[in-house]
Structures are given as structure tokens and as C-alpha cells.
Amino acid sequence: MRSLSDNDSVQTRNWNILVFMAGVVVLVIVLLCRLYSLQHTHYDENFKRSEKNRLRRVELVAERGYIYDRNGEVLVRNRPSFQIALQALHLPRKKEGRDSVFNLLLGIKDKNGARVFDSLSLDTAFQRTRWIKNRPIRILEDASPEQVAVIEEHSSELPGVVTLTESRRDYPYGTLASHVLGYTSEISEEQLKLPTFEGYSQGDRIGQKGLEQEYDAEFRGKNGVKLVEVNAFGREVGSPRAVEGMAPVPGYHLVSTIDLKLQKAAEAAIPDSVRGALVAIDPRNGEILAMVSSPRLDPNIFSLKKRERNKGWAQVALDSLRPLTNRAVSGVYPPASVFKLVTAGAGLESGILSESKYYPKSCTGGFQYGVRYQKCWGVHGNLNVVNAIRLSCDVFFYQAGLEIDMARINEFARRFGYGEEPLGIDIPGEKSGWLPDSASFNARNKRVGWRWARGLILNLSIGQGQLVTPLQQATFIGSLATNKGVYRPHFMKELRDSQGNVVRRYEPEIIRSGKMKPETHRVLLAAMDSVVNHPGGTGKRGAIPGIRVGAKTGSGEWKKGEKTHAWYAAVAPLYDPQIAVAVILEAAGGGGSKAAPVARKVLMAYFGLDEEEK
């Protein structure tokens, strides 16, 4: 007979079994409920999560439009570029796994034994993956095929590390027309905050400076999208069936007004060691044929990988010669003796001057005005307006300016493109000039206590005191020669789609009246003719065989004791203008000796003449 203690032991064991069985039943019920929940109640939600892990939404960046010269030569194109990036959704979630990927990447070296990835940049990229989940984060730009091969070889050990292919801008002629073309770079955080860039994302590459910036929206096109199937390591394994994406729409191509042959001639005419600018324009419609700003820069540096890009950027940003500045549109200088055409035109229009008028005071080397003696650069004797322009006599224009007065002179200047209003060229950075009168002079110099005095007209009548850009100077000389109006200067000739169809053409636009009396026009053309084609003309070094060139030279004073800025503004053929050229060489000396030969080379190239022809 069992004892009481044996019964208690059996009862306890049975109870334990019962509790265990009950626990198993409860667990099974919980599992069944959870399974039911996953399979039925939350099916749609879980299916979407699964698809999200299996499928990746890849944005297809539209091909950026090209830039061509007026004859169809490629000035800007695209090139393929490999990028190594982190895909946050496929990186290991645990710290140990992420550290393993980090260390493996850090251990990759190139053929020279140098690390491919920088530890600081790599750490920053890993930190960014914590809040940027749906977009790849670049860790290596412009990767070489060898570097891509190493990443692909270790793909199983590098979950979340992917290789992407994107296009980068390529400027096949390097520094040529760099200030006109501009460059592209990654959008900055400051730019992302601006309303202009609404819809852009961090990492997008946008146009900076020049045509790249001005026509960025047209170049960008419209991005597409596709869904790709990926494995557990984030590697693409195929495209899901029955899932259609959206193809990207390429950006528009821009056919510019630039003439590549003429641009090359202009670049060759101004050494990169010289500070200066050149603008060649068609005065009949405002098309810019060539534009040079020196020193130049190579926009290709902005398409390099980060380390090389930063190094190149530092070099140009810290250069005291300011190669980033487009002197052709944002450089402001005294117009010097080129402005004597304005003073003469204002006098002729008002009837104060005529071709037969001579002033009582002949040029003996200077002019006495009150207690002030204003020098001339030479001794020229008694002159009329044509000869005064030919010899660039200051004494004649001192007297003419005092008689004509600044109101008439400034009105004539504005009529032909000078003044405080920009011309509206289709690249950013254009500055306006300045035509002083008593009110603007007093306001501008209030802090230093200078006041307008009538004696200032002596300097202003010969172009010492105003401010103009090389673009304004070329526009002025061209419209003065045509007498048909000032056309807005521009670079865009037409936009074309990827099939070559024209989607927009630039329509020439007159923005200033740019007209004068026929007699005024005749006298000014005769004077410009005399500057180049008379044996004693200051611009005779700009003459070319078989083509009648008209011009005006100038030497702009800017700093006491320094050489003057050399100016030369010309048109050809003078009596049927097709091209106007303005050249400035900073601190180079006389315009006739220094700037005229530069313009001559450009005109020779335009008319297809050999430099050897004299």
C-alpha cells in the first residue's frame, strides 16, 4: 500500500504535467493567433514591407543636355562615372555588422598601397545612413574600374555597399570659354533652402555659373524611376515582371551663338598670364560670337572626385588673379578714350559740334581751367572732331565736354548701351556701369566728403570717371556703327530636344534706341575709319587687309603710378558691320599698341584671313 508521501509526489507530478501541457496549448494558441494575424489581419502591411525589402525604387537621372557652338561642334557633353555608395536599408542593423563593413571598406587599398576610403568621410557617411534611408550615400566618386571590381568581388562581405553609374559633365576643350559655359557641382545646403531650388534634393548636381546655371532647368530634363529586385546584400538581381517604371526624359540641348573657331582665336590672342577680357558680338542681332575672361579656369575640376575637386577649388579660389571672375560681364573699368565717341556724338546730335568746328584753344600739351592745368598725352595743334578722335586729343574734348555738358553726354551714352541698367545677357553675374552726374556723384562719394564740381567734366568727357563693362563697350561700338538699335546680347541661339527638333529659338530684341541723325552717324564713322586707316591714327595696328575696320583706342587710368588699362573697340566692315570686338588688357599700357593687335587677330580669324597677311 502506497504511503501518503508517494501519493503527494504523484499528484505534484501530474499537476506539473498539466501546467506544462496548458502552457504548450497557450503557446500554440498564441502562435496560431500570431500566424493568423500575419497571414490575414496584417497581410497587406507585411506584404508591402516584404516588397520594400525585396524591391528597390531606383531613380533614373535624366541625361543632361549638351551645349554646342553655332556650327554644331560639341562644347559640353557627359561622361559615365562610377560611384560607390551606401544603401541604408541593406546595411546590417547591428553595430557589430556595420563595424565589420566599415573596417572592410577601410582596409581596401589601391595598387599603390594607399587607402581608397578616407576614415573621416566614411564615418560621416555611415552616420548619415541613420536618417537617410531611401537614397544612396556616396562614399567614393569617380571610382576606377579596378576599384569597382574590388567592391563587386567582396559584395557578399559588404551588404549595403552598391555601385552606381551616373553621368558627369565633360568639357572637351578644358579652359576654353570656361566663364561662358560655367560648370556643375552638387547642390549646397544654402541653395536647397532657396525657393528657386524647390523639388531638388541633397546630392543633386546643378549648374553653377555661366550657361550651365542660366539654363539648368532646360538641361536637367525629367528623371525617371524603375523598380529592381535585390538580394539580402542589396545587390541587384533582376527586374520584377509586370512592373513598369517611368523612363527619364533627357534635357534639352543648347545651340549657342559661340563660334568655336573664333573662340579659339580669341583665347590664343590673350595669354592666360594676362588679366583682361574680350567680347566679340554680332551688332545686327546681339549674338555673342566669342567671349574671353583671363585668367581662365578648367571647369573639369568640378567633375572630379572630392579630394581632387577640393584641391582644384582651393587653387582657383585663393588665386589673387581671380580666375573665377568673368571680367567680360562683371569687370567694371573706366571706358577711357573710347568714350570720346560718346562726347562727340552728343555734341553732333545737339548741334554744338560739327565737322568743321575748331575750338579757340589749340592743343599745346594741356588745358588751363581756373587754377587747374589738365594735361594732354601729346601736342596736337588745332583740330576738328574727326582729327581729334583720330589722334585722341584730350584738349579738344575738355573744351567740348564743358560746352556740351554731362546731361547731353550721358543721354547719348545710355542710348547706345552704357549706363546703370544691365544689358540682360543670358548668363549670371552681369554688372551695370555708372554714368556720373552731380546727384549720383554726390551720393556715391558722400562718405568721403567729395562734391560735384564742374571741373569734373574735363575727366568725364574723355572717359575717366565712368564705369563700363567690356560687354557694354562691345555693344556700344557695334550699335554705334549700325545705327539701327541696341540688341540684347545673348548666347542662346536655340534649344533642341534629344531627337534634334527645335523647341525654342531666341528672337533678337532691341533694348535701347541706338539711333542718331544721319550726319552724326557719318561723322562718327569717318572718325572711326581715320583711327585705323589713317597713317597717324592711334589704332592703325588693328587694320586688316581688304576689310575696312573702324575703331577707337583707349588708355584707362586706374591707379597712380601704374600702367593704364589698354582698351580697343572695333567694328568690321565699318560701313556694313558684321562683328564688333572690345578688348581690355589690365595694366598693359596703351590701347593702340597692346589691345589693337589682339582684336586684329580675332577679326582676321572671323574673315578667314591668315595672320601672315599684312
User: What phi, psi does 192 have (nearest 5°)?
Assistant: -60, -25
Number of domains in the chain: 2
State the DSSP string of 294-347: ES---GGGGGS-HHHHHHHHHHHHS-TT-TTS-HHHH--B--GGGGHHHHHHHH
| Listed residues 250, 284, 312: the one ending a domain | 250
| The one-letter amino acid at 265 | A
Residue 614 falls inside a structural domain: no
Among the listed residues 253, 61, 250, 266, the one whose alpha carbon sits nearest the alpha carbon of residue 178 = 266
Indicate whether 86 belongs to any domain. Answer: yes
pLDDT given at position 327: 97
Evaluate whether residue 71 is within a structural domain: no
Q: What pLDDT, on a 0 to 100 scale, did the predictor assign at position 534? A: 96
Q: Give Cα 178 to chain centroid, integer Å.
A: 8
Do residues 238 and 281 share a domain? no
User: How far is it, in rounded angstroms, from Cα 91 to Cα 98?
Assistant: 7
Query: Same structural domain for residues 315 and 338?
Result: yes
464 and 496, same domain (yes or no)? yes
The verdict on 267 and 245 lying in the same domain is no
- Which pLDDT value is given to residue 387? 97
CATH of the domain at 435: 3.40.710.10
- Read off the C-alpha cell for 442: 554726390
Query: Rg of the Cα trace of the chain?
Result: 36
Residues contacting residue 448 through CB under 8 Å, at least 6 positions apart: none
Sign of CA dihedral 476, 478, 482, 488: negative
Do 304 and 241 reside in the same domain of the chain?
no
Cα separation, 124 vs 279, in Å, equals 46
**235 with 317, same domain?**
no
**Structural domain boundaries, residue 90:** 56-65+79-170+229-250
Q: Which of 220, 250, 280 is the last residue of a domain?
A: 250
Does some domain include residue 548? yes
- 351 and 310, same structural domain? yes
Are 465 and 572 members of one domain?
A: yes
Across the chain, which has 614 residues, the per-10-residue mean pLDDT values are 63 79 82 71 57 62 94 95 86 87 88 83 87 81 86 85 87 95 89 85 86 95 76 55 74 97 97 94 98 92 74 72 90 97 98 96 95 94 97 97 97 96 96 94 91 95 97 98 98 96 96 97 98 96 96 93 95 97 96 96 94 53
Claim to verify: residue 587 and residue 476 sit in the same structural domain: yes
| Shared domain check, 242 and 138 | yes
Residues 245 and 331 in one domain: no
pLDDT recorded at residue 614: 47
In a domain, 217, yes or no: no
* Same structural domain, 280 and 166: no
Query: Residue 122: inside a domain, yes or no?
Result: yes
Predicted pLDDT at 611: 64
Nearest to 430 by CA among 599, 195, 253, 180: 180
Q: In sequence order, what are the beta bridge partners of 487?
A: 510
Q: Are 420 and 434 in contact (CB under 8 A)?
A: yes
Which of 432, 441, 389 is CA-nearest to residue 413? 432
Give the closest residue to 570 by CA, choosing from 228, 341, 256.
341
Alpha carbon distances (Å) from 510 to 195, 284, 423, 514:
31, 10, 10, 9
In a domain, 566, yes or no: yes
What is the rounded end-to-end Cα distance, in angstroms, of the chain? 141
CA distances to 171, 200, 299, 535 from 219, in Å: 15, 14, 17, 51
Beta strands in 448-489 (DSSP E): 486-487
| Within-domain flag for 294 | yes
